[in-house]
Structure 1
């Protein structure tokens, strides 16, 4: 089926064909499977391939002819390969008189507990039972984690769905590489699914913006039909000034962001190949050596001229951004969500580059300086009375730290700066409104290694995450919860008094670690701080006091101890969620705040991620309350990124 543009139908997530699925028994999983192309089984047939043949036979034993049929090879080749497995000790054989020889795995437990992948190609869904870390990391590159089931370690099942936007944003150079990644985790080939993926990839390369020799912006379509049936129908008259040819149109420069978003919503992401401004030159060189993956990020950005560095906290996104500033070489505006981050950015610039301190300006509620490299808060930069100061400077690069803030209405005006190089930084560019597409259309596509690759390479320590379900131990609090509703019920569950006892237990069990305790409510934060004899930092804490407490928490070594200057425990509200660099935090405990977003859960877990040492995250959820679901939802996003999450019921 084709639409008027000549492209395969599918601008909606599910076309008419995809709605005709088999019943819930998984009957469509083999509908378009393609057998292996090889005529002979490899001599080093793996035990996993043998397990796959047994699963296909739905028997714990198989003959050589059955294995040959399932693997698409000859009986002789299968017999030889199985003999090699027998010689290695992975498989046993049983010779029965007057019956064929049967083969079975020596380790039955491996067959029962191994990863299983079931594919529903027409629904574009993938169910994985006991997935390996490799499989989860691979799937996170092109699929969306929908749900998880199971509570015991090693038994969790995962449901993934491949959406249009997942294919469009997949970090691959071409459709063949993407399909190769898909095949690497699926049990066999699925022509219908692969064709859909290729079609969606093609859709992401049908429109582009470029700069005409005379300096104006042109929208180019891959065909006359696309220009007439897609662009003309989805763009208003004031978006395009005039047609240039059957496939090109002169774009109103003020409408570039709107054009990109409108075509994205129509199912056609736009490639942005415009000649962007570089701004007045600024003297800055990087003084820190980049890791290989950081250099790859920078190279990809310079090629694309826009993008979002996506990686876990501790992966060095800020250093990569400073390298990008030096490579672009033009005046730069850095937008951040808080004054603390603005101050931190200034310190990072001075530590990792040769920039002149006099060339760095801070523009927020405390000070207002516009310099060649200016660091401003989103809120200030978006105000009308300050906007003209930023518009008057010829910025060569706009850097959006914690890039998800561009999706919030109060900050959205900063995303109109479409004529500049645009760089975003985010560990988890996801918002609860599902508007991650705004990040990619207004700033640029994702750039970065998947989290799991950084864990495996040892660049970032993978955190150990545990959800601990805490019972009610106070009858009055439990009765108050039962009588409450709505937000009040959520608050009572968050402030379950038993959580303080659990906090004391966890901190005592890890008394050698620097710990952050996250809370949602001021009263709860104050109560925990009093119980633990620890400082509480909230939005009401004066800026200078926050800075001093963060400095003391960072203090390490004998000198800090002798001076009585160091802090081992900090209780923090949402001010600790985003970007604050606390590299020596070894333990994070989320005591409340489970009604927040998935991004918030990832950020809090991320406060313990760094290149070396252990990293522990405990999430406390009141058993039998809505916090159970909230905790699982927040941690599910970490699971998608390759982080293992376990769950524990705390004893009554």
Structure 2
């Protein structure tokens, strides 16, 4: 028998999903409990077979563990679909998107309950074959089902999985104690002179390229990427992140950056100064990453410096302080990063997130966020 008492929103969302004939997308704030909700849907309809599709191997491991716990099963009673594409009836199957995209053709004769986690990712050209699987029921899960830059939600996800039937946002989660109260401190700093000049030069080149070739053109995108790198590799940004760690010594801290070199540099400086720090990024082996994460969770290190690899799907509720030293323009990444820090843990009464910004567009995005989070989070601004 399932062991967990469902949260209020999970009961309400389950009722909506049943009303929608066991189809639909549920939008839930990061950390809100969407895994348990999906497993309660499986428990409710007891399908002949379930296929859970996830974007990464790390998320696959989390679902595997949670599903086994929820239904009191051994890990080997749940089928992990690998390259051999072996699919088992009468149980829960879990696959990463890449594998699921190849599976659709193989299991045409079987209908299953299809659950797609972080479903916004399945709308891409590369992965949407995963949505061709024949279904008796379907459920999409995402903190942000809308896809910036395209019509993927309307054209791909809704036809395959059903409409967005339920939303659970920061305000709801705060009210229910699903996340802790949090404070955002946005720090505006100046780029170094030569870097500012390079940023301005690239901004003009981008404007020219947009008028000549359009926003989506390869030339324009290449310039955007170049400008983002100029912005992210500011040494003032790194200095400021280090200063914030020093001012909050001993707090369990996640530092987010966009560049692996910068992450390694921050980690090296912290270690040289006696701070118990680790680093976590995609160039490390899976084993080394697992060791770092474990050390951070157990409190053997206080600071974990990460480059994107922790954006989705990792549960580190012990974190009290987030420092977003560099970020992309996407709202989804922002939501995922805040979600890493605002999860509740024993003895945790609140969370603090610093964001370092240097340019007009960055400041504008945070001003818009401040308006959306009115009465939900405390937002403060300062100059470095």
1:550 aligns with 2:293: yes
What is the match of residue 76 of structure 2? 358
Deviations 1:123-160 (A, max 9, x none): xxxxxxxxxxxxxxxxxxxxxxxxxxxxxxxxxxxxxx
Q: CA 1:640–1:308 in 2, change beyond 3 Å: closer, same or farther?
A: farther
TM-score for the superposition, normalised by structure 1: 0.50
**Corresponding residue number in structure 2 for 1:124:** none
The corresponding residue for 1:583 is: 317
- 2:45 is the alignment partner of 1:328: yes
The whole-number CA distance in structure 2 between the counterparts of 1:355 and 1:392 is 27
1:429 and 1:599 in contact (8 A); partners too: no
Asked which structure has the greater RCO (Cα within 8 Å, sep 6+), the reply is 2
CA contact (8 A) 1:516 1:585 kept: yes
Aligned match of 2:210: none
Does the 8 Å contact 1:601/1:634 carry over to 2?
no
Q: How does 1:613-652 map to 2 (within 5 A)?
A: 613=348, 614-622=350-358, 625=359, 628-630=360-362, 632-633=364-365, 636=368, 639-640=371-372, 643-644=376-377, 646-651=379-384
2:6 is aligned to 290
1:493 paired with 2:218, answer no
Pick which of 633-642 and 312-321 moved more: 633-642
Given candidates 404, 422, 446, the residue that maps to 2:165 is 446
Cα gap change, 1:632 to 1:587, in 2 (>3 Å) = farther
Distance 1:602 1:400 in 2: 19
Give the secondary-structure state (helix, strand or coil) at the position aligned to 1:544: helix
Task: Work out the CA distance in 2 between the residues paired with 1:462 and 1:316.
Answer: 17
Which SS does the other structure have where 1:581 is aligned?
coil
What's 1:317 paired with?
A: 34
Number of the residue aligned with 2:142: 426
CA distance in 2, matches of 1:639, 1:392: 50
**Partner Cα distance (1:370, 1:391) in 2:** 11
Contact persistence 2:81–2:87 (CA under 8 A): yes
CA distance in 2 between counterparts of 1:555 and 1:377 reads 28
- Alignment gaps of 5+ in structure 2: 204-222, 272-276
Please list, as runs of the form range in 1=range in 2, the aligned pairs for 1:286-435 lying within 5 A after superposition.
286-304=2-20, 305-330=22-47, 331-364=49-82, 370-371=87-88, 372-383=91-102, 386-391=103-108, 393-395=110-112, 397-417=113-133, 419-435=135-151
1:71-107 C-alpha deviation (Å, 9 max, x unpaired): xxxxxxxxxxxxxxxxxxxxxxxxxxxxxxxxxxxxx
What's the offset of the Cα at 1:462?
3.6
CA contact (8 A) 1:538 1:574 kept: yes
Q: Counterparts of 1:26-37 in structure 2 under 5 Å? A: none
Provide TM-score, normalisation by structure 2.
0.82
Aligned to 1:251: none
2:344 aligned with 1:607: no
* Cα separation, 2, equivalents of 1:610 and 1:491: 30
The 1:416/1:504 distance shift into structure 2, 3 A limit, reads same
Decide whether the 8 Å contact of 1:311 with 1:427 is kept in 2. Answer: yes
Question: Per-residue deviation at 1:636?
Answer: 3.4
- Residue 405 of structure 1 deviates from its aligned partner by 0.9
SS in 1 for 2:319: coil
Report the Cα distance in structure 1 between the residues aligned to 2:308 and 2:85, rounded to whole angstroms.
25
| CA–CA distance in structure 2, aligned partners of residues 583 and 323 of structure 1 | 23
CA deviation string 1:188-247 (max 9, x = no partner): xxxxxxxxxxxxxxxxxxxxxxxxxxxxxxxxxxxxxxxxxxxxxxxxxxxxxxxxxxxx
Find the aligned partners of 1:347 and 1:479 in 2 and give their Cα distance. 51
Q: Deviations over 1:491-517 (max 9, x none)?
A: 122111112221122223332422111
Equivalent of 1:506 in 244, 259, 270 = 244
Change in Cα spacing, 1:450 to 1:525, as seen in structure 2 (3 Å) is closer
Q: Deviations over 1:142-185 (max 9, x none)?
A: xxxxxxxxxxxxxxxxxxxxxxxxxxxxxxxxxxxxxxxxxxxx
8 Å CA contact 1:363–1:375 kept in 2: the answer is yes
In structure 2, what is the equivalent of residue 598 of structure 1? 331
* Cα distance between partner residues in 1 of 2:101 and 2:294: 30
What is the CA distance between 1:351 and its match in structure 2?
2.6
Q: Secondary structure at the match of 1:439?
A: helix
**TM-fit CA distance, 1:303:** 2.6
Q: 1:536 to 1:392 in 2, by over 3 A?
A: farther
String of CA shifts for 1:374-406, please: whole Å, max 9, x gaps: 1111122113xx4444445432x1111111112
Q: Distance in 2 between matches of 1:640 and 1:421?
A: 34
Q: Which has the larger radius of gyration?
A: 1
Q: How does 1:110-129 map to 2 (within 5 A)?
A: none
Aligned partner (choices 268, 278, 291) of residue 530 of structure 1:
268
Q: Which sections of structure 1, spanning at least 5 residues, go unmatched?
A: 1-284, 557-565
